[in-house]
Amino acid sequence: MKKIEAIIRRSKFDEIKAALHDIDIDFFTYSETIGVGNERKRKAVLRGNSDTEFISRLTLSIVVRDINLRKTVDCLLDHAYTGDIGDGKIFVYDVEESYRIRTRESGDESLYMKE
């Protein structure tokens, strides 16, 4: 199993979400992310410091079976792309184990619904 962490533009979220559903990746989490990168967006007042520049993005967290890794990464690469600085980053990590709390299923079985 792999964990994919993708930092993306907010403006691409709906497109990416629909594209992930199209390839049967139906579960992921996302959160607001603030970071600093090559692209400079706006200045904000944080803790009294008015010259802090930050970029507001979303971080997607997706755990997939190994067989779904390539298609998920390709989907993110295709749909997060604008060609401009600030398109984001994708990181892939190994996941040692996974459990579904409700059923106590583990491993790959905990990542998808049986039909």
Query: What is the span of the domain harbouring residue 45?
Result: 2-111
pLDDT in tens, the chain (115 residues): 999 999 999 999 999 999 999 999 989 999 999 877 766 555 555 555 555 566 779 999 999 999 999 999 999 999 999 998 889 999 999 999 999 999 999 998 998 776 5
Alpha-carbon distances of 63 from 40, 81, 95, 98, rounded to whole Å: 31, 21, 8, 9
Report pTM: 0.83
Q: What angle do CA 37, 45, 54 make, to 5 degrees?
A: 10
Q: How many domains does the chain have?
A: 1
Which residue's entry shows tokens 């491993």? 107
Q: Residue 106: which CATH number?
A: 3.30.70.120
